[in-house]
Amino acid sequence: MLVLKDLRRRIFPKDWQRTVSSTMPTVHALIQGMLSPDASERPTSDLVSSVIDGQLAEFVFSLDLSSVVQRGRSLLLRVEAADSEGILTRTINLIKEASPDIVLIQYGLKVHSQKAIMEFALSLPADVDANELSTAHTDISKKLSQSLEVHRVRQVATDVCPTRQDSET
């Protein structure tokens, strides 16, 4: 368990440095600023809200998961790429090339700071072995990562069930 006993002095535990600080430097810098003994160095509430909203956007999946009902056969991916005309179509084509059996259930695109953020709900057809989901994920991730336009591919979830309890875990 991470103990934050020296936090007021802006001394962070080694585990914090290894985890939060290295993976979310914006959050780390925000907290350091919030802990400043000098009030003029502390961020405004608007800045805190903006930074937190930006961080949460990294983990919020905006697709309607109620349509993703095939437990054990579904894959949710988040793909970040340079925003350019046709990026969604090109990304869908790469997914289909990498895994021809995959079914595109749902997709979404939003643009933030000149970055295209695409979300995909994918599934295997009923006649394909469910064990192939892992292979499909690997093939799709590899294909997308080879694209010069794609900056990041992240699996958001597998084995999705459209219940509130499952979506919060």
Question: Shortest CA distance to 73 belongs to which of 117, 135, 118, 119?
Answer: 135
Q: Are 72 and 25 members of one domain?
A: no
Q: Are 92 and 31 members of one domain?
A: no
Q: What is the DSSP letter of 129?
A: -
111 within a domain of the structure (yes/no): yes
Q: Are 76 and 121 members of one domain?
A: yes
Structure confidence at residue 96 (pLDDT): 95
pLDDT digit string (tens) for the chain, length 169 residues: 456 667 778 888 888 878 877 777 888 888 889 988 889 989 999 888 888 877 766 655 676 666 665 555 788 888 999 999 999 999 999 999 999 988 888 888 988 778 898 999 888 877 777 677 788 889 999 999 999 999 989 887 644 443 333 333 2
2 within a domain of the structure (yes/no): no
pTM for the whole structure: 0.61
- Backbone phi, then psi, for 113, in 5-degree steps? 50, 50
- Domain residues for the domain of 37 are 7-57
Q: Are 16 and 42 members of one domain?
A: yes
- Per the structure, the count of domains in the chain is 2
Strand, coil or helix: 68: coil
Concatenating the DSSP letter of every residue in 145-158 gives: HTSSSEEEEEEEEE
